[in-house]
Amino acid sequence: MNQAIAKADTLIEAMGWIRRFRGKTTVIKLGGSLLEDRVALHHLLLDVIFMETVGLRPVVVHGGGKAITQAMADAGIQAEFVRGRRVTDAPSLQVVEQVLAGELNIEITQMMEKLGGRAMNLSPRTTCVLHGEKLLDPDGADLGFVGNVTSVDRDVVESLAYTDQVPVIPSLCYDAEGQLYNVNADTAAMAVAQSLGADKLVFLSDVNGVRRDEQDPHSIIPAMSAGEARQLITDGVIRGGMIPKVEACLETLDRGVQKVHIIDGRLRHSLLLEIFTTDGVGTEIHA
């Protein structure tokens, strides 16, 4: 009986958050090692289905870096990166398109359907909702077919949300001439969140958030303002690989999104715990 009461208490705690976010859009960025972890992905997609069921409007944007690198290796293509962006020539683009649009996008959608949800894959093979242009590297390096999102078909994405379906979008875009480009998944998710006027953007990572001591998972900072985050970067508390993640969060806030979260997607039901509990499990950065 005590366990049953505890479950009821959890539902009551969640009720306030559900009311607050019902009808609001949350963009969820999937990628990296999470797509390789079948158990973690299973529970994350269950979380997404729960969110849609209780009235939120989740939108999934995904990359697939590790799967792309493996597929390129299988094809005898050497991966090359410039400041974290994959140099993408014509043979590489074929691999990227096959992995993102032909495999992962379909797989994520089918997994959600099998788990009882309703999802729609929006890819260049179905309906491409991301439009952009070739990304010009500031240092002059030619990254090949790497693009930057300049617009999103908001009406298409929102129409799915109104019919209780979860849009699943790979990080690929077309330009005005119909050329396909590979897009960094973080920046693609940022563009989608901005276009939809999302209340939240959630970056699912393999760390539990921003830490005061990067080696101590217990030193996580549950919430901070954009100003506090910038100061922590200046003070050297936020450093290394966490800097570009936090800077991406700050750029997203500058574009009108209310809150950005960094959470460990490997933690079971981390998405629900972050959104529907008072304490949360990751770091929330707000304007």
- Taking only the tens place, the pLDDT of each residue in 170-217 is 999 999 999 999 998 888 999 999 999 999 999 987 778 889 888 888
- Taking only the tens place, the pLDDT of each residue in 12-71 is 888 888 888 899 999 999 987 788 888 999 999 999 999 999 999 999 999 988 899 999
Burial class of 165 by CB neighbour count within 10 A (0 to 12, 13 to 18, 19+): middle
**Pair of tokens at residue 145:** 């077919």
Q: What is the 3-state secondary structure (H, E, C) of the chain?
A: CHHHHHHHHHHHHHHHHHHHHCCCEEEEEECHHHHHCHHHHHHHHHHHHHHHHCCCEEEEEECCHHHHHHHHHHCCCCCCEECCEECECHHHHHHHHHHHHHHHHHHHHHHHHHCCCCEEECCCCCCCCEEEEECCCCCCCCCECEEEEEEECHHHHHHHHHCCCEEEEECEEECCCCCEEECCHHHHHHHHHHHHCCCEEEEEECCCCCECCCCCHHHECCEEEHHHHHHHHHCCCCCCCHHHHHHHHHHHHHCCCCEEEEEECCCCCHHHHHHHCCCCCCEEEEC
User: Annotated binding site: which residue ranges?
Assistant: 64-65, 86, 182
Share of the chain above pLDDT 90, in %: 55
Give the residue with greater pLDDT, 241 vs 132. 132
- Taking only the tens place, the pLDDT of each residue in 86-110 is 889 999 999 999 999 999 999 999 9
- The pTM score is 0.90
Catalytic residue annotation: 29, 32, 65, 186, 245
pLDDT of 108 reads 96
- Taking only the tens place, the pLDDT of each residue in 70-85 is 999 999 998 888 777 7
pLDDT of 145 reads 95
| Confidence at 3, pLDDT banded by 50, 70, 90 | confident
Q: What is the mean pLDDT of residues 114-123?
A: 95
User: Annotated binding site for substrate: which residue ranges?
Assistant: 64-65, 86, 182
pLDDT of 74 reads 93
Structural domains in the chain, sorted by start: 25-196 (3.40.1160.10), 199-286 (3.40.1160.10)
Give the residue with greater pLDDT, 23 vs 7. 23
